[in-house]
A = this chain, B = another copy of it.
Amino acid sequence: MSILTPKQKEIVEREAQILEIARPIVVREGYHGLNMDRIAEAVQYSKGTIYNHFSCKEEIIIALAIKNVAKRVELFQKAAQFKGRSRFRMVAIGEAAEMFVRDFPDFFMFEEIIQLPSVREKTSGKRQAVIQGCEMQCMSVVAGIVRDAVAQEDLELPEGVKPEELVFGLWSLTSGAYSIMLKSESLEQMGLEDPYAIVRFHTAALLDGHNWKPHSTEFDMDSLLKRIRREVFSNE
């Protein structure tokens, strides 16, 4: 069943080739820099052939975004497997999020583009669902750690607060910070030098504020981070 005729192989490879060519164009020149004639010329096939693969240019962009979110889920799942107390596993999640931004800073551009109403209208619900599915997976990985923390009595949630609501705070803080970092020049003007460190500083404070034990003053963050990098992400 998975045996491919030369022709079928060519088609599969071409799809990857289109995405490879499109990615740097979007990164350099954004949504509007990407146009089908240009891709067609670059891959040396006619425009009609490109349209056999992707029904519009928005589909190309969402396909690029999907490649990245899948990677994020992988990083999160790895981080969650870190052996140790729940609070330490959360630090590992933070590290995963930071690595994702460092390694795929372009993703935030794709994410913004695919949220534009004009783009959402044109792209298939199927691909949109894939993105949302990955988002939910990340959420539930982290919510799982929250549940573990509650079970182990490292954390107590106020009456009526769901684990997902706690995750939402972290999600907001980190995604907000990274999106400001990547798009605003104000930061440098305000003299903020190591934004990644600032994000770590605030996530620690947020978890401390929710009284997630052990408190960040009760363990050595630097050596923990080193251990996480070594044990979880050594081959990234």
Contacts and interface: CB of A to CB of B under 8 A. Distances in A.
Contacts of A204: 209
Copies in the complex: 2
A231 interface: no
Contacts of A189: 136
Interface string A26-51: 00011111000000000000000000
A13 B184 CA distance: 33
Interface stretch (A59-67, A73-81, A174-182): A174-182
Given A30-B118, A115-B112, A209-B207, A168 B192 contact: yes
A194 to B, nearest CB: 9
Interface residues of A, number: 51
Contact of A116 (B112, B180, B187): B112
A84 interface: no
B116 A184 contact: no
Given A136-B190, A206-B209, A209-B207, A201 B169 contact: yes
Contacts of A32: 116-118
Contact of A201 (B165, B195, B202, B205): B165
Contacts of A177: 168-169, 172, 176
A198 interface: yes
A171 interface: yes
A31 B172 contact: no
A192 B176 contact: no
A156 interface: no
Interface in A135-179: 135-136, 139, 161-162, 164-165, 168-169, 171-177, 179
Nearest to A197: B165
Contacts of A112: 112, 115-116
Contacts of A198: 165, 168-169
8 contacts: A164-B190, A168-B190, A168-B198, A169-B198, A172-B172, A172-B174, A172-B180, A209-B210
Given A136-B189, A172-B180, 5 more contacts: A162-B192, A171-B180, A205-B206, A205-B210, A209-B210
